[in-house]
Every structure is written in C-alpha cells, then in structure tokens.
Structure 1
Amino acid sequence: METTLSSTRDGVSNHLLFDRSSALDIAAFAVDGTDLSPGSAIPSDGDPRIDHALAGFLFTCGPDHIRHPEPVEGRDDGRRYPLHGSLAGTSVIRAEMSADGTRCEALIEVDLACGGKAAVERRWSVSENGRSVILEDRVTNVGASAFAPMMMYHMNIGGRLLGPETHIVSPSLESGSLGWQFGMGESAHFCIPAHDEEGWSEVSLAPLPGLGGRRLAVRFRVDTLPFLQMWRCQRDGANVISIEPGSHRLAKRPELAASGELGVIEPGQARGYALAFAVS
C-alpha cells in the first residue's frame, strides 16, 4: 500500500511517496513533477534491502547500527550487524494519514541484530508555512535488554540534477562551501561534526540545474545527530550524492565503545531524532 504526502507553496508542488514495506521511508520526492531520487543510478553492496532503499530519496540506518557490517558484541557465533542496521526492509505495523494529507504517523517494530527489539514511532508532517517537510522519530527500547542506539538518515539525490556550479553549503564546513564532486576518484565521503545553531544544523545543495536552479536545504537536530556525513558515487552506472546526518563519527564500534561514545538505552527508555528539508 502506497502512502503519499503532498503540499503546494508559491505555485510549487511537492509530493512524497512513502514506502510502507521499508519503515515508511521516502521512495520518491517529486518537485513540480521531477523526482530527486537517484532511482536505478546507484551502486550495489549486495544487500537487497539496501539496494531497494538507496534508490529512494530517504532511508534510515539503525536503530542498532549504521554503515558497514560489524560483529555483534559479546557473541562468538559470528553474528554481525547487517549493512546499515536492522530497520531497512522492515514493514510498517500501522500507518495513519491525516484527512488533509499533510501528516502521516506510523509505528514500526524491528528485531535487532543483538537480539533486542525496538519500536520506532514515526511522524511525517508539512510545516505550517508549507515550505518544509519534517520528520520526527522516537526510538523506544521495547526489548528485555539494553542496546546501543545508532541512527543515520540517507537523503539520496540523483547526480543527474547537479552541475559543475553545484556546491555543498554549510557552516559545518571549514570553508563554508565545497564543490559537490569532492574528494578523489569515482566515490568519496566525509564525516564532520555538525555546526550547532540553537540545537539544529543545516546543509544545502545549490544550485540544482536539473531542478530549475533550485536549492535543497536540510536541517537536523544536533543533540542526537551531531555529525554531518556526505557521500557521492559516480561509478559505472551509478550517479548519486547523499546527505547523511548521523549519530556517530566514522569509527568502528569497539573504538566508539572504548571512548564512551556508543551509549545505551535501557528497556523502556527512548531517544528522539528529527530533521527537516525543503526545496526553494
């Protein structure tokens, strides 16, 4: 079952197509009929869940792991956290759309690789002025043991929409601006501390010639998403760039645990995350 959230502001129409089969992530984000998602222009890591999710505009890593597979702590049976965590590919238990089509709420329960269980209460909405789409997530430990929450949000943009003039703009960057084809070679990424401006951080891609020169701006809460990660891939048929607010720096789990950065939530405890994005 498809779920769509729509808004129109200053003559510009926005349509979000949610994916109920994968945690109510965003399968498509169309602005005046142009989808920002990369579609089939993505690389494959061999995980069908992620291949499906990466083709859309937004998918969620976590709530138990982000990035590439690593061994589950305290086990000797070879069990590993899956690529980008356990949430992707998890169907929605319940979803409800508001009568005016500007708000959608959902509940997802996910079995964690460590043996625990988490509930994700997800709320998508359009801001009062109609300019921004807002995501609010509440992750609750509904299992019998503590687990380390990790979250990352991948906002994937088709490289076909960008041009030589397109830049990443953010106060998180030392220079404030960076060409979108950063790094060396066909693929590159970086992860830096997010600049805190009254509890939120911002990054944008602009201009987007394939979207009439418009600007995509993303804001996210820095208390639980204190890092800005970005990734691009222009390899073989892939052509994608991703804005990825994340909960943890780029390091292995044992290193994060040893430095006290991994953290845990006990049964019954919860943690909240939020982001917003707009095209203008």
Structure 2
Amino acid sequence: MQATGIDLALAFDRGSALDLGPARLDGIDLAPGLAIPSDGDPRIDHALQGLLFTCGPDHIRHPEPVEGRSAGDSGARYPLHGSLSATPVTAPQRTQAADGTLHLSGMAEIALADGGLARLHRRWQLAPDGTLSLSDSLENAGSAGFAPMMMYHINLGAQLFGPQTRVAGAMLEEGGLGWHFGAGESSHVCLPAASGAQDGWASVRLGPLPGAGGAWLQLDFALEGLPFLQMWRRQSGVANVFALEPASHRIARRPVLREAGELVDLAPGERRNFALRLAVLRA
C-alpha cells in the first residue's frame, strides 16, 4: 500500500495475519530487516524483520506451560509470542475511499495452544497523509473460554537512530528517556500507559531519526485493550533493533496474572477489541 500524500510504502504479510513487513519512508526502510536476534522460532525470526507483528492471542512473551493439562500432556506449552504468527488471512479485501484512504481487511482463524479456536478480524486504514490505523476484533470461536493476551511489536532498525533520539510520553518518568536505555546489549521496560491519556488513548513519540531525514514517529493506542507500554532494544552481533510494544498485560508469569485476576476469560462467541495508530511526523 502506498500513501498518496507522503512517500510511504507499506507491505503486508498475507501469510502472517496481515502483519507489517518492510515500511519505506522516502525509500528508506524503517523496519529492522535482518538486523534482529533469533530465539530459534522461525515464525518469530520472520515476523521480527517487519515494522509490526502481533503477539497473542493466547499468550505473549516467552513460552510457558498450558494450564489445566492432564499429567500425560504436561509438556504442552504456549509458543514463543503466542499462536498467531504465521497464520494466514483468508480472502483479504482492499478498497479505496473517495478521500484517498486505503482500507485492507481480512480474517485469520487461529488454532490456540490449549486446543481452542479464535478468529482475528483485522482492518487497516492508510490515510493520504500517511497515518496508519489498525482495528482488531478478537473472537472466541471455540467451545470453551480462553484468556486473550495481545502485544503489538512496532520494530525499528536502530541504525536510523542517533544520540539525540528519544522516546517522549506522559507515562514516562520526566516525560521521556533516551532510546538506548538500560545497560548492556539488551534492555526492556514495561509500565502502565494511562498517565496523560486522552479519550482513552495513550500516546508516545519517538525521534528524531537522523537516518530517516529527522522524522518522528507517533504511536497512539487504545487503553481499553492495551493498558501497558513495553519497550525493548537489542544491540548485539548483527542485531540492532528497537521496539515500541503496546501490551495487554504487565510482565509476570501466567499463574501470577491469573491469581491477581488479570487473565480474564473470553467466553465462546464473545469479542474483545484492540486498536492503534501510527503516524510519521516530518522534521
């Protein structure tokens, strides 16, 4: 998809839930491409190369045991970042509105790690000014409840960054921090995102990006489904990546979240919604 009012070209992965692949601004790919680490899961190695991939809908982060399995099936685990990646969409539809806004939609039917079934109804919109909007409706299409977990990785090649590149947002201490936060080759942080939110939406900005003409990126996400902001960076070997990651849950093991009442089941036939927006701001 190509925005009409800005030189922004986006590629969507029909073989993996219409997640985003390369994203070229003025011919420069914002996504990390091959500059990503490998965790040994080819689904995730592929997904990390693009600008956005989706964790879930049954699990996020690293593998954990599936709850409630019998002793003979005690080795069942949720896969790395959940079951969605590498799930194709069926019958994707692309249309263009009179104002030039492009629409892309599709449905992915997802086999969950616990034996259940979910459907992700996904809709992208690309406005002429380059603002990209994502609306997801997650449906429990199985016969038993499951607890949805979702996280959206907006991955960027950190070779585009400079020492002045910062993340700015009201949820951050003192309103922002440098992109190379923490110590060592890798660091991450996860925090509640509600501070400073407007009309139920949180907002964070990243920039300037010297390698992309000094542009900034603005990420807005709906707190209804994504009340946390996680950030992650990795600079080691060939890996040079930074990610903004709106998330449904804080960092904690599944039993801890369940005990705290933070894993809320979705009944058969019910839906839960998630939404975000990504915009390019010129220098």
Q: TM-score per shorter chain, which class? A: over 0.9
Name the residue aligned to 1:154: 153
Q: Percent of aligned positions with the same letter in both sequences?
A: 53
Q: AA paired with 2:31?
A: S
Name the residue aligned to 2:182: 183
Equivalent-residue separation in structure 2 for 1:223 and 1:122 (angstroms)? 17
Equivalent-residue separation in structure 2 for 1:29 and 1:103 (angstroms)? 17
Q: Report SS of the residue matched to 1:43.
A: coil
Equivalent-residue separation in structure 1 for 2:226 and 2:178 (angstroms)? 23
Contact between 1:94 and 1:108, CA under 8 Å: does it hold in 2?
A: no
Name the residue aligned to 1:6: 2
Equivalent-residue separation in structure 2 for 1:27 and 1:189 (angstroms)? 23
Q: CA deviation at 1:6?
A: 1.6
Q: CA deviation at 1:101?
A: 7.0
What is the 5 A alignment of 1:1-280? 5-9=1-5, 12-75=6-69, 76=71, 77=73, 78-99=75-96, 102-127=102-127, 130-195=129-194, 196-280=197-281
Contact between 1:71 and 1:79, CA under 8 Å: does it hold in 2?
A: yes
Equivalent-residue separation in structure 2 for 1:211 and 1:130 (angstroms)? 17
Q: CA deviation at 1:131?
A: 4.0
Q: CA deviation at 1:277?
A: 0.2
Equivalent-residue separation in structure 2 for 1:276 and 1:90 (angstroms)? 23
Q: Report SS of the residue matched to 1:234.
A: strand
Q: AA paired with 1:107?
A: M
Q: AA paired with 1:176?
A: G
Over residues 37-96 of structure 1, what are the superposed CA-to-partner deviations in whole Å (9 max), with x where a residue is unaligned? 100000000000000000111000000000000000001311000000000011111201
Q: AA paired with 1:190?
A: V
Equivalent-residue separation in structure 1 for 2:7 and 2:220 (angstroms)? 20
Equivalent-residue separation in structure 1 for 2:112 and 2:130 (angstroms)? 35
Q: CA deviation at 1:29?
A: 1.0
Equivalent-residue separation in structure 1 for 2:164 and 2:248 (angstroms)? 30
How many residues align? The count is 273
Q: AA paired with 1:83?
A: L
Q: AA paired with 1:82?
A: P
RMSD: 1.1
Q: Report SS of the residue matched to 2:180.
A: coil
Deviates more, 1:129-138 or 1:176-185: 129-138
TM-score of the superposition, structure 1-length normalised?
A: 0.95
Equivalent-residue separation in structure 2 for 1:125 and 1:152 (angstroms)? 19
TM-score of the superposition, structure 2-length normalised?
A: 0.94
Q: CA deviation at 1:126?
A: 2.0
Gaps of 5+ in 2: none
Q: CA deviation at 1:8?
A: 2.9
Q: Report SS of the residue matched to 2:167.
A: strand
Q: AA paired with 2:50?
A: G
| Structure 1 ranges of 4+ moved more than 6 A | none
Contact between 1:146 and 1:267, CA under 8 Å: does it hold in 2?
A: yes
Q: Report SS of the residue matched to 1:6.
A: coil
Equivalent-residue separation in structure 2 for 1:153 and 1:213 (angstroms)? 24
Q: AA paired with 1:164?
A: P
Q: Report SS of the residue matched to 1:21.
A: coil
